[in-house]
Structure 1
Amino acid sequence: MEHPEAQKWDRDRDETEAQRLDRNWSSLLQELRVAQTGVQLLTGFLLTLPFQQRFTQLGDVMRGVYLVTVACSIGATVLLVAPVSMHRLLFRRHRLDTLVSAAHTYAMVGLVLLGVALAGVAVVIFDAVVGATEAWVAGGVTLVALAAFWYAMPMIGRRDRNNRY
C-alpha cells in the first residue's frame, strides 16, 4: 500500500495507473543511467588492479577488503543493470507494475552495494598511499558521507510536508 502522501501526489497529478507507472519507470531509468555509468567505471577500474605491480604489496587484510569491494561492485553492476534485462523480457506483457517495483528494489540494494564498494576503494587506496590507520579512517568517513548524503538528507527532505512539486 502506498504512503498517503504518495496517494495525494498521484491524485493531484490526475494520472491513470498506467501513466503513473510510465512516469515512475522513466524516472527510475534516469536514475539508473547515472548510477550505471559510475558503477561500471568503478568495476572496470577494480578489475585492473590485480594486474598492477604494487598490488602484490597488499597485505592479506587489504586483499580481503579488495575482494569484498570487487564483489560489491560487481553485485551493484548486476543489480543496477538488471532492470534493463527485466524490461526486455517483460516488454509488451503488461507487467510494468512488476518492473517498476522490482527495479526500485534492485536500485536500492545496488546503491547500498555501490556505497560499500566506494568505502572499500577508499580503504584500499589510502592503505596503499598513506597507511592502514588512515585507510580505515577514510573508509569510515566515506561510509558516514554516504549515509548522510544518500540516506539522511533525502529522509529529511521526505518530512517536508509543503507538497512541493
Structure 2
Amino acid sequence: MTSDTEHPAEARGRSETADQRADRRFTDILQELRVTLTGTQLTSGFLLAVAFQSGFKDLTHDLRVHYLVLVGLAALATVLGLTPVLVHRLNSGKQIKDRVVRVANRLLIATLVVVSLLVIGVTSFIFEVVVSAVAGLWAAAVSVVVLLVLWGIAAAAHRIDGESVH
C-alpha cells in the first residue's frame, strides 16, 4: 500500500527522492490552488458588486439570505485556499514536507468542495433573480448533477489500475 505522498504511477514512472516527490507534489498543489483561487476571486468580486447595484435593495429577504450565504462561502473558499501557504510557511525548514503535502492536499480538496458549492449557489441565485425561484432550484439541481457526474468520472479515473490522475 502506498502513502498519501506516493502513488503507484509515481513510484514506477519517476526516479526521484521522497523529498523531490514532496516538493513536486506541493508545487502541483500550489498551481491548482492558483487556478482555484483565481476563480474564487472573480466570483467574490461579482458577489461584492451585486450588493452595490441599485436593484439590490429590491431583493426579497430570502434572496438576501441566499446572497449572504454565497458571500460566506466565497470567504470560506478564499481562506481555505490560502491556508496551505500558511501551513507551508509555518513549517518551512522543519523537514516535514511530506506532512505539509498531506495537509495541503486535504485543504485543497476542502477548497474544491466549498468552491463547488459556491458555483452551484451562484448559478441558482442568478437564475432565481433573473427568472424565478423555481428556475433557481432547477439550476441548482442541474449543477449538482453535473458536478456529481464529473466528480464520479474523476474518481473512476483515479481508481483505474490504482493510479491517480495527475
Distance 1:122 1:88, change over 3 A: same
Q: Offset at 1:57?
A: 2.0
In structure 1, how many angstroms separate the alpha carbons of the residues matched to 2:68 and 2:25? Answer: 35
Q: What aligned pairs does 1:81-160 form with structure 2 within 5 A after superposition? A: 81-149=82-150, 151-160=151-160
Partner of 1:8: 8
- The residue number in structure 1 matching 2:78 is 77
Matched residue type, 1:130: V
Structure 1, residues 108-157: CA drift from partner, whole Å, max 9, x if none? Answer: 111111111111111111111111111110111112212222x1111121
Work out the CA distance in 2 between the residues paired with 1:101 and 1:3.
10
Letter in 1 for 2:132: G
Report SS of the residue matched to 2:160. coil
* Aligned counterparts of 2:18 and 2:111: Cα–Cα separation in 1: 27
- Higher mean C-alpha displacement, 140-149 vs 74-83: 140-149
Q: TM-score, normalised by structure 2?
A: 0.87
Q: Is the CA contact (8 Å cut-off) linking 2:124 and 2:140 kept in structure 1?
A: yes
Q: Map of 1:44-59 to 2, 5 A cutoff? A: 44-59=45-60
- Percent identity among equivalent residues? 35
SS where residue 120 of structure 2 aligns? helix
User: How far is the alpha carbon of 1:34 from its aligned partner?
Assistant: 0.7
Query: Please, which runs of 5 or more residues in structure 1 have no aligned partner?
Result: none
The one-letter code of the counterpart of 1:124 is F
1:14 is paired with a residue whose SS is coil
CA distance in 2, matches of 1:39, 1:56: 25
State the 1:48 CA deviation: 2.2
Asked if the contact 2:22/2:97 (under 8 Å) is kept, the reply is yes
Aligned positions, number: 163
Structure-1-length-normalised TM-score: 0.88
CA RMSD of aligned residues (A): 2.2
